[in-house]
């Protein structure tokens, strides 16, 4: 057993152990872990709910006590996290928005985990984006009743769907995650506590870890394109962004749309999400990065809170992985184009930083030699297509219904 420096080869089980409750071994989403089937294990270790880091182990079939002992030994070497600051004020009120399209099979685990994480009084919204049938509506009605409010957005586009949720939201904070994510039980409390800590914060992102590593494609995604931004909290302001690479290239380090939250009034003040961006449009993404940038350039702080954890179910097949990485490239290129269209003063920074953007694969550190060449090529190809995709999508929006205004 060692502290993890590399992911185990799939298939690998994923478990969650809190050193303060060593008998309580869990799986992503908060349910009790079954006895190990044997083989590699990737474990998140935390103390009093606060993530410390990842460790790996090899479990014998059915040997829960042996696995737990090995994880405890390795986990104690990860050190400690600083104590949470004392509560200074009530937590903000909350709306959680999950957008989906024709993925009803994923929703029960996601929504069940959300209900475990949601504080009392939270408003929970499910936005069904251009569905081809009524199965998602029926699932929400029959399984969740009035606990989750169903909304319908008829025009495809993740940004549109998110704006539909934003327009209906009543909470002081709007939190977003995806239908292929599993919110951690402490996710929402950690987001809200971060907003409470500083009124200047307009956006908070959080830690995203893999919910499963069952296939080589899932492991490849996590190694080379993973969403994790580490275990250290961080805050950014516009004053911090004068370095190299310049401001437009730094926002991908803030986090991802699978785990983000905004002060509702701050997100509405910037006009919500750009409806020419996002999955379901020709741009295939970029709406989250653009929102981070616009919040930052509006003078707000952006914070990263590793205690705010969601688990993500990565794509399972090589074909789906390739499509996703290409889509990340398109979305990133579209985001850069949108940034220039909306703030022409950024053009000089974009031209200065563009050479550094070309070798980047999504979500990985620059200059990493671990990414397969195919994934880098796909990302570059998408990046070059992205600006034209944004301009096309922007023109196409003029022919579509205006959409819900936040």
DSSP string, 115-156: HHHPPTT-EEEEEEES-SSSHHHHHIIIIIGGGSEEEEE-S-
**Beta-bridge mates of residue 43:** 15, 55
Specify whether the CB–CB gap between 148 and 136 falls below 8 A: no
Task: Give me the pLDDT at residue 30, please.
Answer: 86
Token pair for residue 4? 């993890």
∠ at Cα 134 (129, 140), nearest 5°?
Answer: 80
Structural domains of the chain, ranges and CATH numbers in brackets: 2-78 (no CATH), 94-318 (3.90.550.10)
Answer for the pair 318, 373: CB distance below 8 angstroms, yes or no.
no
Contacts of 192 (CB under 8 A, 6+ apart): 91, 92, 94, 119, 173
Compute the Cα dihedral for 180, 186, 187, 189 and give only its sign.
positive
318-342 and 216-225 helices, crossing angle to 10°: 30
Which residue from 173, 186, 163 is spatially nearest to 261, judged by alpha carbons?
173
DSSP 323: H
The pLDDT of residue 87 is 64
User: Which DSSP string do the residues of 192-214 spell out, in sequence order?
Assistant: HHHHHH-TTEEEEEEEEEES-B-
Partners of residue 182 on adjacent β-strands: 311
Whole-angstrom distance, CA of residue 301 vs CA of residue 295: 8
The pLDDT, as a whole number, for residue 226 is: 87
Q: CB–CB of 54/4 below 8 Å?
A: yes
pLDDT of residue 366: 38
Residue 95 three-state SS? strand
Distances (CA, A) of 364 to 204, 227, 286, 294, 394: 20, 8, 16, 23, 29
Spell 214-229 as b/e; 16+ CB within 10 A means b.
Answer: bbebbbbbbbbbbbbb
**Where on the phi/psi map is residue 121: left (φ > 0), alpha (ψ -120 to 50), or beta?**
left
221, two tokens: 């995604």
Contacts of 376 (CB under 8 A, 6+ apart): 359, 361
What's the predicted TM-score (pTM) here? 0.91
Within 13 Å of residue 115, how many CA atoms lie on the same side as its CB? 15
Contact between residue 123 and residue 201 where contact means Cβ atoms under 8 Å apart? no
pLDDT of residue 225: 86
Report whether 156 contacts 280 (CB < 8 A).
yes
Contacts of 100 (CB under 8 A, 6+ apart): 106, 107, 126, 127, 128, 129, 136, 179
Task: Identify whether the C-beta of residue 134 lies closer than 8 Å to the C-beta of residue 204.
Answer: no
Q: What count of residues does the chain have?
A: 406
Query: What is the pLDDT tens value at each position of the chain, 406 positions in all?
Result: 344 446 888 899 999 999 989 889 999 988 899 999 999 999 999 998 899 999 999 999 999 999 999 898 888 888 766 666 666 689 999 999 999 999 999 999 999 999 999 999 999 999 999 999 999 999 999 999 999 999 999 999 999 999 999 999 999 999 999 999 999 999 999 999 999 999 999 999 999 999 999 999 999 999 888 899 999 999 998 877 555 555 666 788 899 999 999 999 999 999 999 999 999 999 999 999 999 999 999 999 999 999 999 999 999 999 999 999 999 999 999 999 999 998 887 776 666 656 555 544 444 433 333 357 888 899 999 999 999 999 999 999 888 777 665 6
**Model pLDDT, residue 107:** 97
**Do 354 and 405 contact (CB within 8 A), yes or no?**
no
């Amino acid at each position: 057993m060692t502290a993890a420096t590399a992911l185990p080869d799939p298939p690998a089980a994923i478990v969650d152990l809190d050193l303060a409750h060593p008998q309580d071994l869990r799986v992503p989403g908060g349910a009790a872990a079954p006895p190990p089937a044997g083989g590699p294990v990737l474990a998140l270790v935390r103390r009093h709910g606060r993530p410390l880091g990842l460790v790996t182990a090899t479990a014998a079939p059915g040997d829960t006590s042996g696995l737990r002992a090995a994880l405890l030994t390795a986990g104690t070497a990860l050190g400690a996290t600083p104590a949470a600051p004392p509560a200074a004020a009530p937590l903000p009120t909350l709306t959680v928005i999950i957008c989906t399209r024709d993925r009803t099979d994923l929703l029960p685990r996601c929504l069940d985990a959300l209900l475990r994480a949601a504080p009392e009084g939270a408003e929970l919204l499910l936005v069904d984006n251009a569905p081809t049938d009524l199965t998602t509506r029926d699932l929400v009605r029959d399984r969740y009743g009035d606990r989750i409010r169903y909304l319908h957005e008829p025009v495809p586009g993740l940004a549109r769907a998110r704006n539909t949720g934003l327009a209906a939201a009543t909470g002081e904070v709007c939190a977003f995650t995806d239908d292929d994510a599993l919110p951690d039980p402490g996710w929402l409390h950690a987001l809200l506590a971060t907003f409470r800590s500083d009124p200047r914060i307009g956006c908070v992102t959080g830690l995203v870890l893999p919910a499963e590593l069952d296939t080589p494609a899932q492991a490849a995604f996590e190694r080379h394109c993973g969403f994790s931004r580490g275990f250290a909290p961080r805050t950014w302001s516009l004053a911090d962004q004068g370095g190299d690479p310049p401001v437009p290239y730094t926002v991908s380090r803030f986090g991802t749309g699978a785990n983000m939250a905004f002060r509702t009034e701050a997100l509405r003040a910037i006009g919500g999400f750009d409806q020419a961006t996002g999955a379901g449009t020709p741009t295939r993404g970029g709406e989250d990065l653009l929102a981070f940038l616009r919040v930052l350039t509006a003078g707000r702080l952006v914070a990263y809170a590793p205690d705010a954890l969601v688990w993500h179910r990565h794509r399972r097949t090589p074909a789906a992985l390739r499509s996703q990485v290409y889509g990340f490239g398109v979305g990133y290129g579209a985001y850069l184009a949108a940034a220039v269209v909306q703030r022409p003063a950024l053009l000089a920074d974009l031209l200065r930083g563009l050479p550094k953007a070309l070798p980047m694969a999504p979500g990985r550190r620059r200059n990493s030699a671990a990414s397969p060449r195919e994934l880098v090529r796909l990302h570059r190809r998408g990046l070059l297509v992205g600006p034209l995709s944004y301009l096309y999508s922007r023109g196409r929006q003029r022919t579509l219904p205006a959409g819900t205004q936040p």
